Amino acid sequence: MTTSSTLTALVADLGGTNTRVALTDGAAVRSDTIRRFRNAEHPDLLSVLRSYLEQFDVVPDAACVAMAGPVRDGVGELTNLSWTIDRASVSAATGAGTVAVLNDLQAQGHALDVLRPEVIRTVLPGQPAGDRAARLVIGIGTGMNAAAVYRLGERTLVPPSEAGHVSLPAQTEDELRLLEWIARKHGTPGFEDVLSGRGFERVYEWLCDAAGMDASLDAGGIMQAVNDGSSEIAEEAARVFIRMLGRAAGNLTLVHLPFGGIYLCGGVARHFAPHLHRLGFRAAFQDKGRFSEFMDQFPVHLVEDDYAALSGSAAHLQELIG
């Protein structure tokens, strides 16, 4: 009988652009087996998994796919790519007997208890809490999402969420103008329309439009201009982005009360990390009127591990098999 300690599993982190795949020993991801595939070069996830397994002479006991899109009853659809994933097809492609399909933020939540301390950077210290306190993961990358994390006995519960598509709030006249501009150009604005790589480009384009300039930079170019101080508009775009991130994180914190901490993850969040303090993240996070002091108790951390979703998928499978 296979136990969690002898488990050989295949884990995959499926994003809108790339898919990362790895094998595990028990709950540990084998770093030497991590491979990255460009989704544009494959017709579907099953092609990716079969291409991966051709490189390794193994039939995994279990498999878990973490994907950037909503999952219901083991069936998921990518938000930014027309792929559908279900447990039966993943089992057929891999030979695995136990299969799980998670939203990628659920996988990030399952990773929190297995992440190495050196990949977690503290943004706001907050106050200590018990090890059963709720936590919250917020992912900022190609898209945006958030999920609460709970410990129930020996199991981890991470309910699915599509928080990135909640309507974006505005508290100032400038922010209202931004929302009106996004609505005119792209439809009803949600969190993801600002808090993502694509959203950062939209904020920059809005500021350029208001200044009568061409928006000549993509997200990477805008961030480079912020880093080297070569563009006032890029700097202001980063300030708007960070203010909206702080406000969104504060709103989600009041909904879930994650006394165990808020964990920012994703490539875009990591790029903004050096600028969070100077461009006002803390003030925006705590800007909750008479509850501003209440917000002081919530720690905020940054996860600096690009493979955390793989680790979370492995941890989830270990709990499933027991």
Measured distance CA(103)–CA(160) in Å, rounded: 7
Task: Categorize the per-residue pLDDT at 1 as very low, low, confident or very high, splitting at 50, 70 and 90.
Answer: very low
Domain 4-114+305-321 maps to which CATH number in 3.30.420.40, 3.40.50.720, 3.40.50.300, 1.10.150.20?
3.30.420.40
Q: Is the pTM of this model over 0.75?
A: yes
* Mean pLDDT of the residues in the chain: 93
Task: Match domain 163-303 to its CATH number in 3.40.367.20, 3.40.366.10, 1.20.1250.20, 3.40.50.300.
Answer: 3.40.367.20
Q: Specify the DSSP element, H or E, that contains 202.
A: helix 197-210
CB 297 within 8 A of CB 127: yes
Pairing of the two strands 62-67 and 71-72: unpaired
Residue ranges of domains in the chain: 4-114+305-321, 163-303
Q: How far is CA 267 from the centre of its chain?
A: 8
- Label residue 228 left, alpha or beta by phi (over 0 means left) and psi (-120 to 50 means alpha): alpha
Token pair 């087996």 is at which residue? Answer: 33
pLDDT tens for residues 81-121?
Answer: 889 999 999 999 999 999 999 999 999 999 999 999 999 99
Residue 253 Cα distances to 136, 146, 152, 184, 200, angstroms: 8, 10, 20, 30, 22
